[in-house]
Amino acid sequence: LALVDPVAQSTWDIYVGGCFSRAGDEEVKAVARYVWDLQAKEEPKWEALGDGIAGVIGGGNDPQVFAISTSDELGFFGGDFANAGRGVANNIASWNHATEEWSSLGGGVYGVVRALQAAPRDGGVYVGGKFCARDAPDVCNLAWWDEVQGWKSFGGGVKGEVLSLLMSSHRLWVGGRFAIPEAAQFNLAMWDGAAWDERDFEW
């Protein structure tokens, strides 16, 4: 392994991303899965995720995955890359654990995805970074995506860059370098599903 940045778990499997071309003895492309089933008799092993992550929009540096979040059915991967599997993804894609196939999230995004938080109960994923959705250019930096609604903003959006997302007790914590004009919040905020928390977190 070279540079490994995000790590996530789905059931027994561990998913890693970053900028690398080998995991153990397996040739991979920026993402890999460590099959780690304590109940199985087989030894743990590294596996590629199909054809992996490839290409950088506009050329230049190697593709890189900055964020991973998983549910029982899907793994979401975000970063700075052009393709997932053999299809165009534009910096964000999902991996189906059962079918082992990559899918794009609409037309993807312009810019870089830095944070992801899957929300299986609601059937989608929260996305953070410095970007605008290709299918919805007014949806930028913090967004919700699902197969029914596509890309959607919430809470009036943010100005700046989102670097981390965490779901706790059905509330979404958002961290980064940003301002939320609608709530007068800066760099750290909490979304309760309907509105931004009005408390001052003193950031």
pLDDT band at 143 (very low <50, low <70, confident <90, very high): very high
Retrieve residue 156's tokens. Answer: 């009036």
Give the residue carrying structure tokens 């299918």: 135
Question: Model confidence over 44-63: pLDDT tens digits?
Answer: 899 999 999 999 876 667 89
pLDDT value of residue 114: 97
Buried b (16+ CB within 10 A) or exposed e, 169-195: eeebbbbbebebeebebbbebbbeeee
Cβ neighbours, 10 Å, residue 161: 18
For 62, 80, 86, 135, 161, the CA distances from 58, given in Å and listed in that order, are 11, 11, 18, 19, 21
pTM for the predicted model, two decimal places: 0.92
Q: How confident is the model at residue 181 (pLDDT cuts 50, 70, 90)?
A: confident
Q: What confidence score (pLDDT) does residue 132 get?
A: 97
